[in-house]
A and B are shown apart, each in its own frame.
Chain A
Amino acid sequence: MGSDSDDAKEKDMDSSREGAWAAAGFAVVLVIVGLPVWWYTTTVYRAHLPYSTIEDLSHQLRYHGISLSVIGAPSYTFSEDLEKHLKSSRSIKFYVTSRQSEKNERERLKTALSVEELDEKMSAATKIVTGTLALFILPDSNSNILDAADAKIVVGRHRNVYATADVDMPTLTSLLKNMVINSLANKKAEGNKVLHDLKGSLRKEAMRQVPTEPGYDVTLTLMIPEPHFISVAWNARKAVEDYLKPFVSQLESITKISIRSQVLYMTALSVSPMWSSSYKHFALPQEQLPLTINAIEAKLGSYVRTRPSLHFVVYIPKQDQSPLHIHKSDGTPVEENSFMVPRWGGVMIHNTPVPEANASMPYDVELDTHWIMATVLTHLQKLLPVPHIKPSEGVLVLSASKSCELTGWELDGLARARVSSYLANIRITLQSLCELVGEISNMVISDEVGGWVWGAVEEWGECLTATREGRLKEATLYCSTSFIQADAAFFHPSMLALLYFPDNQKYAIYVPLFLPVSIPVILSLKVVFGLYRKRTPIKIKED
């Protein structure tokens, strides 16, 4: 019986080994063919993204390098002292160089009779490039010019600052810092958290500034709610040419602004003013202002442009509401009779003379172009982060030769603020892109999006270096291209293609297919392993 059963055992062992091989074969086919096919057909395509570079760049220091040349410093200690005072800021780094004034500069200094003349002559003599500043220390013999203007420090029209040798150092340094960049814009770029910590009025001011984008659409809207009473002759074309064109062409290298104008008839602001008998006009309380523009928003949109738009509305009040004046919360009229809407634009209320009782309708009205355009410019400058120097004693700030233009240092400051904001935006965009890709497994990254990201990262790095080295023009260029690319990648429609494909649908398809196949295979594998384990004790026994 023993040998017989051994034979049978042997036979059984063979056949069971065969079965085991078959089971293993199924498993192998499933693993070698099935898994790759499944993986290949269900995997989400992802182009390679530069995660580590993005991480590196977002931790790099961001500061603006500004070279400041001190010309004609009275002593070595002066410039050293200045440098020490300028060091405190985290986001601005001054590179101070010092030299003696040249002969022709001294000569020009002597001949200048007024501050304006001095500035003109000096800026003609020394070319100060974009993104840098020059500080002229006037020798005592010439300081009488400044004394005549009743100032210790004079800020020139270009990129020059004039001071006497006995200038108060903290005043000078804080002035220089304010000239270089709009402090609020700088804070804004550091992130929302910093912004929320700001105090009431400052925060309001910071929130007012328009988001930094490569271009803006400015629309001037003249609102005439009652064209049957008033016919307005206003040459918008000429007004734009005269007042806004110089400003726009000055900003050309920093941001593109396109200007349109339109007339809206039969549309009124939704206001309900009250008659103020003390001022003999209709009073529009300040609290009502936020609601005024809702009524016209529907008529201001564009179906073509996607750039942020700024609206400036000139409103001619209705006959039964004019003259109309905006009142402050304490009940006194606002002098400018206009208000700004944060990140949106501004509204000006233009009162027209009351017609005589028997005048024929509609009567002609001329608009005060100068007032309108000056207000538009002020609003526009406030909406953009142009650096601003608070008036203080002993400081004279020369404004640009044409009232509608910006001075050299203002332009530089604006460019710097925009670069800061761009850098912050790029960092946030790319970081959140990386985060999203990590979080959402269904997100497709096509080669096109990958290309945008790689491009954005490259330009971003260039921009950071250029900013630190103070090459402002290049920084603006690199940053804006990087910003555009990062945005294009983040908002690419292909990213959302599979986002809404829920997991339960996946299982609904996989389960009926995989469950009946994989369960027998896995169970048989278990037995195969069991067999493998049991074969060893048999051998021992036979030995």
Chain B
Amino acid sequence: MLLTDKMWLTLGVLVTIFALVSADVEESNTFTEELLIKPFPSGHVQSHFEFTTTWRNPEISHSIENYKDFEFSHYDLFPRALGEIIEAYHVRELHLSLTQGLWRHQIWGYPVVDAPPGAQLWVWFNPTVDNLDQTWKDLVNALSGLVCASLNFIDSTNTVSPELSYRPQGIAEEWYAGNSSLMRYAALPRENVCTENLTPWKKLLPCDTRSGLAVLLHPAPLYTANYHALSIHLRPSCVDKSCTSPQLELVQALSLVQNPTVSMNGHQDWSLYHLFSTKLISVCPLASMSVIYVDITNNNNKFSLYPEPYKVRKSGSGSSFRKHAVYDINDTPPNEEFDLEAHYKSRHVYGFIPSPVLHVSRFITGYGQEGGSITVKLTNTGSEPLSVVYLEVLPWYLRLFLHTSHDENQPMYVSKLVTALDRERGWLYEAVVEVQGKSTVELSLEFTRALLKWLEYPPDANHGFYIPAATISTILPSPKNVAVNNLGGSTLGDKLILEEGEAFIRIHTETLLVSLPTPDFSMPYNVICLACTVVALAFGPIHNITTKKLVLKKVEGNASPIGRLTSKLKNIFKRGGKKEAEEVPKQDPVIVEENPLFEDREELEDIEEENEDVRIHGKTGNEVS
């Protein structure tokens, strides 16, 4: 096997061991705000906001170093609403993203932070936690209150603890980073993101939206974008490169991809005002840094920026070469509106965009309502082979067939597999796949669909069931197409300076929509009605047969229609004077008793009547018998 465990331990983990110099740590809070604008060759423009709050004091250092729960009592820039959740639920690291739309890796490259459509939450807990499942449940509920999202739909059926894909991103020692039982991952692909999530997210910022870059976050342009991702990342990180003391870092990121080319008459022209419907008015007085970066690596005189960049920062070489125009908002003249514009010389030319080294597509195959297959295509356009971790989290109502998932010729192994339990646990399928250079690997997971109980269907069941995105993590040989590859820095500016050599990426595939066999939901009522009718129909005759005896009656044929009519009338008259009527049967009770169990009294009386008539007639007319 190509892959050793050792290699995967470093997967995405920042620094595993840090040299501890127990220096006196002073209380310090910093807040920075940054914006990266990057035009894509597809005509789209990405804007990535990052608001970073760091917090350092002796208690926090102690908690981070000893894997203890945080205890915050005096909040300054750090939001108290989130801080209370973190300390109450033993959180060490937390990553939450709410996304609308799909990041198209093939034409946009790799983002700063990748997020699958819908909601995604992964959390590393401290080893102090007693009942992790309960804590996770409580945490999820508290968070759904905090960000107004339906995270409370996260339960044991969609929660997993993958081994390799979601290693801690902050400071962690090897024993901790390898203990996946302390982490929980869940995704809700159906979750919609809207203003109701943005407002509480903005409330966590120390300047709120009253000043600084957050002023640009008007809901209307945000939610008409092609891609929109809101996220909260909390991790213990290093204060400096040498990592002598730890700090707590909260990154609130918002990523947008918009398409100004359509509205700008074929030019990819953009400006802050055009993208966000507002200009920058003021700087957040609490931010130690307010910077806008514009990626001009691939500019080649295609567009010019106005105002001229205050500074152009070049970094790296070869595939890690990046060129950014830097605008420090603090350097702008105060009390003046700031707008940043890009003017293109010519109309945008849509052409072939070379794919990044690794790209993935995933889809459902099969037809009908019984079986199907989830197929994932991993394409490596580079020349070197890649080892890819493929994580699939599936609901229990897809019943997987694992024997067909392994291709004999395919170098791969399953690093973690958790089989589903109906209504209790979902599938976790995590495999390490070797993708040779310039080749495509196709994996497929066959499944059949389970029948759900009628109460388990969501509203609008015919819409189908969303299957969460798969996670693909790998280490690329070079930082080509990569936005960030070093996790050491706390600010976006630091992260944008790429390191030479290997680059870790974690990307997500498309979510899928599977339609399960859906019953007619009026069925239970129909069943009740039908069953009751059958019971009623069956019971009536059975009851009649068992309790009544059919007696053959002689019917005298000579009774004329008039005679019948008079007897009927007599009958009515007799009902009026009941006492008279009762005397008659007393004289001859046998006749009445002949058929005592007639249900209908009236019928009984009719028969009595008839008998009487017969007797009278017999006496008068038919004396022979």
A interface residue numbers (CB < 8 A to B): 5, 9, 12-13, 15-16, 18-20, 22-23, 26, 219, 227-228, 236-237, 240, 259-263, 265-267, 298-299, 301-305, 362, 509, 512-513, 515-517, 520-521, 523-524, 527-528, 530-531, 534, 537-538, 541
Across-interface contacts of B590 in A (CB, < 8 A):
5, 9, 12
Expressed in whole angstroms, the minimum distance between the Cβ of B523 and any Cβ of chain A is 15
Given A261-B73, A531-B596, answer yes or no on A512-B528 (Cβ-Cβ < 8 Å). Answer: yes
Expressed in whole angstroms, the minimum distance between the Cβ of B553 and any Cβ of chain A is 13
Across-interface contacts of A265 in B (CB, < 8 A):
77, 206-207, 285-286
Query: What 3 A-B pairs are tightest by C-beta distance, nearest first?
Result: A516-B536, A228-B285, A512-B532
Contact indicator A303/B81 (Cβ below 8 Å): yes
Expressed in whole angstroms, the minimum distance between the Cβ of B603 and any Cβ of chain A is 12
Main secondary structure of the interface of B (DSSP, over half): helix
* Residue of A20, A299, A524, A541 contacting most chain B CB atoms (<10 Å): A524
Contact indicator A261/B528 (Cβ below 8 Å): no
**B543 contacts A by Cβ under 8 Å:** yes
Given A228-B285, A527-B598, answer yes or no on A262-B208 (Cβ-Cβ < 8 Å). Answer: no
Expressed in whole angstroms, the minimum distance between the Cβ of B563 and any Cβ of chain A is 25
Contact indicator A302/B84 (Cβ below 8 Å): yes
**B333 contacts A by Cβ under 8 Å:** no
Q: A16-B593, A261-B75, A520-B539 are in contact. List 4 more A-B contacts (CB 8 A).
A: A261-B74, A303-B143, A520-B599, A534-B589
Contact indicator A19/B549 (Cβ below 8 Å): yes
Given A12-B593, A263-B75, A516-B540, answer yes or no on A303-B547 (Cβ-Cβ < 8 Å). Answer: no
Q: In the complex, A228→B211 CA distance in Å?
A: 11
Expressed in whole angstroms, the minimum distance between the Cβ of B149 and any Cβ of chain A is 13
**B85 contacts A by Cβ under 8 Å:** yes
Contact indicator A304/B88 (Cβ below 8 Å): yes
**B569 contacts A by Cβ under 8 Å:** no
Main secondary structure of the interface of A (DSSP, over half): helix
Q: Which of B128-157 contact A (CB under 8 A)?
A: 142-143, 145-146
Across-interface contacts of B145 in A (CB, < 8 A):
303
**B66 contacts A by Cβ under 8 Å:** no
Which of the residues A227, A266, A303, A531 comes within 8 Å of B84, measured between beta carbons? A303
**B423 contacts A by Cβ under 8 Å:** no
Across-interface contacts of B75 in A (CB, < 8 A):
260-263
Expressed in whole angstroms, the minimum distance between the Cβ of A529 and any Cβ of chain B is 11
Expressed in whole angstroms, the minimum distance between the Cβ of A266 and any Cβ of chain B is 5
Q: Which of B572-625 contact A (CB under 8 A)?
A: 586, 589-590, 592-599
Which of the residues B85, B528, B531, B540 comes within 8 Å of A520, measured between beta carbons? B540
| Per-residue A-contact encoding for B520-561, CB less than 8 Å = 1, 0 else | 000000001101110110011001101111010000000000
Expressed in whole angstroms, the minimum distance between the Cβ of B529 and any Cβ of chain A is 6
* Residue of A303, A520, A538 contacting most chain B CB atoms (<10 Å): A303
Contact indicator B593/A513 (Cβ below 8 Å): no
Across-interface contacts of B72 in A (CB, < 8 A):
260
**B422 contacts A by Cβ under 8 Å:** no
Which of the residues B77, B81, B529 comes within 8 Å of A512, measured between beta carbons? B529
Across-interface contacts of B543 in A (CB, < 8 A):
23, 26, 520-521, 524
Pick 11 A–B contacts, CB within 8 A, sort by A: A260-B75, A265-B206, A266-B207, A303-B84, A304-B84, A512-B532, A513-B532, A516-B532, A520-B544, A527-B599, A537-B589
Contact indicator B81/A15 (Cβ below 8 Å): no
Given A524-B599, A537-B589, answer yes or no on A227-B286 (Cβ-Cβ < 8 Å). Answer: yes
Contact indicator B85/A303 (Cβ below 8 Å): yes
Which of the residues A19, A298, A299, A302 comes within 8 Å of B548, measured between beta carbons? A19
Given A22-B546, A227-B285, answer yes or no on A259-B208 (Cβ-Cβ < 8 Å). Answer: no
| Per-residue A-contact encoding for B70-114, CB less than 8 Å = 1, 0 else | 001111110011001100110000000000000000000000000
Across-interface contacts of A523 in B (CB, < 8 A):
599
Across-interface contacts of A298 in B (CB, < 8 A):
203
Residue of A nearest to B551 (CB): A12
Across-interface contacts of A262 in B (CB, < 8 A):
74-76, 80
**B210 contacts A by Cβ under 8 Å:** yes
Given A302-B81, A303-B142, A527-B597, answer yes or no on A15-B549 (Cβ-Cβ < 8 Å). Answer: yes
Q: In the complex, A520→B547 CA distance in Å?
A: 10
Across-interface contacts of A305 in B (CB, < 8 A):
84, 88
Q: In the complex, A531→B593 CA distance in Å?
A: 8
Q: In the complex, A151→B88 CA distance in Å?
A: 53
Given A299-B203, A509-B528, A538-B589, answer yes or no on A23-B547 (Cβ-Cβ < 8 Å). Answer: yes
Q: In the complex, A303→B536 CA distance in Å?
A: 55
Expressed in whole angstroms, the minimum distance between the Cβ of B589 and any Cβ of chain A is 6
Across-interface contacts of B286 in A (CB, < 8 A):
227, 265
Expressed in whole angstroms, the minimum distance between the Cβ of A227 and any Cβ of chain B is 5
Contact indicator B539/A516 (Cβ below 8 Å): yes
Q: In the complex, A39→B533 CA distance in Å?
A: 22
Which of the residues A20, A263, A520 comes within 8 Å of B76, measured between beta carbons? A263
Across-interface contacts of B544 in A (CB, < 8 A):
520
Across-interface contacts of B85 in A (CB, < 8 A):
303-304
Given A304-B85, A512-B528, answer yes or no on A524-B597 (Cβ-Cβ < 8 Å). Answer: yes
Contact indicator A19/B589 (Cβ below 8 Å): no
Q: In the complex, A461→B207 CA distance in Å?
A: 54
Across-interface contacts of A302 in B (CB, < 8 A):
80-81, 84
Given A260-B80, A302-B81, A302-B84, answer yes or no on A266-B208 (Cβ-Cβ < 8 Å). Answer: yes
Expressed in whole angstroms, the minimum distance between the Cβ of A221 and any Cβ of chain B is 9
Across-interface contacts of B528 in A (CB, < 8 A):
509, 512
Given A301-B81, A509-B528, answer yes or no on A13-B536 (Cβ-Cβ < 8 Å). Answer: no
Residue of B nearest to A530 (CB): B596
Contact indicator B74/A266 (Cβ below 8 Å): no
Residue of B nearest to A230 (CB): B285
Q: In the complex, A237→B146 CA distance in Å?
A: 26
Expressed in whole angstroms, the minimum distance between the Cβ of A299 and any Cβ of chain B is 7
Expressed in whole angstroms, the minimum distance between the Cβ of B11 and any Cβ of chain A is 32
Across-interface contacts of B211 in A (CB, < 8 A):
266
Q: In the complex, A219→B84 CA distance in Å?
A: 12
* Residue of B207, B528, B546, B586 contacting most chain A CB atoms (<10 Å): B546
Across-interface contacts of A260 in B (CB, < 8 A):
72-75, 80, 84
Q: In the complex, A524→B89 CA distance in Å?
A: 67
Given A512-B528, A512-B533, answer yes or no on A26-B146 (Cβ-Cβ < 8 Å). Answer: no
Contact indicator B599/A513 (Cβ below 8 Å): no
Across-interface contacts of A513 in B (CB, < 8 A):
531-532, 535
Across-interface contacts of A20 in B (CB, < 8 A):
547, 596-597
Q: In the complex, A262→B82 CA distance in Å?
A: 12
Q: In the complex, A16→B532 CA distance in Å?
A: 30
Residue of A nearest to B209 (CB): A266
Expressed in whole angstroms, the minimum distance between the Cβ of B550 and any Cβ of chain A is 10
Which of the residues A9, A236, A520 comes within 8 Å of B74, measured between beta carbons? A236
Expressed in whole angstroms, the minimum distance between the Cβ of B91 and any Cβ of chain A is 11
Contact indicator B597/A12 (Cβ below 8 Å): no
Residue of B nearest to A15 (CB): B549
Contact indicator A23/B597 (Cβ below 8 Å): yes
Q: Which of B164-215 contact A (CB under 8 A)?
A: 203, 206-208, 210-211
Q: In the complex, A273→B529 CA distance in Å?
A: 70
Across-interface contacts of B207 in A (CB, < 8 A):
265-266
Q: In the complex, A521→B598 CA distance in Å?
A: 12
Residue of B nearest to A25 (CB): B546
Contact indicator B203/A512 (Cβ below 8 Å): no
